[in-house]
Amino acid sequence: MANKSLPGKLIVKTGKFVWTTMWQIMMSQLAPRSKTGEYLRPESQFRNFINTEPNNPYQPAANRYRLYVGLGCPWAHRTLVTRALKGLEEAIAVSIVYPDPDAGIWVLSEPELGCHTVPELYQLAQSNYQGRSTVPILWDSKTNTIVNNESAEIIEILNAEFNHYARHPDFDLYPQALQEKIDWWNDKIYHAVNNGVYRCGFAQTQQAYENASQELFTVLDEIDATLKTTRYLCGDRPTLADVRLFTTLFRFDIVYYGLFKCNRRRIRDYSNLGAYLRDLYQLPGVAKTCDLESVKRDYYGNLFPLNPGGIIPTGPDMTNLLQPHNRERITS
Is 103 strand, coil or helix? coil
Neighbours of 68 (CB within 10 A): 24
Is 17 strand, coil or helix? helix
Type of residue found at 45:
Q
Torsions phi, psi for 303 (to 5 deg): -90, 75
Type of residue found at 44:
S
Closest CA to 250 of 230, 271, 276, 231: 276
Catalytic residue among 39, 73, 232, 262: 73
> Annotated catalytic, 234?
no
Catalytic residue among 98, 165, 190, 198: 198
Closest CA to 104 of 114, 119, 116, 126: 119
Type of residue found at 82:
T
Torsions phi, psi for 212 (to 5 deg): -65, -40
Task: Provide the CB-side half-sphere exposure for 240 (13 A, CA).
Answer: 28
Closest CA to 162 of 151, 173, 149: 173
> Annotated catalytic, 73?
yes
Q: Which residues pair with 235 in a beta bridge?
A: 232
Q: Which helix (H) or strand (E) holds 84?
A: helix 74-86
What residues are annotated to the active site? Answer: 73, 198
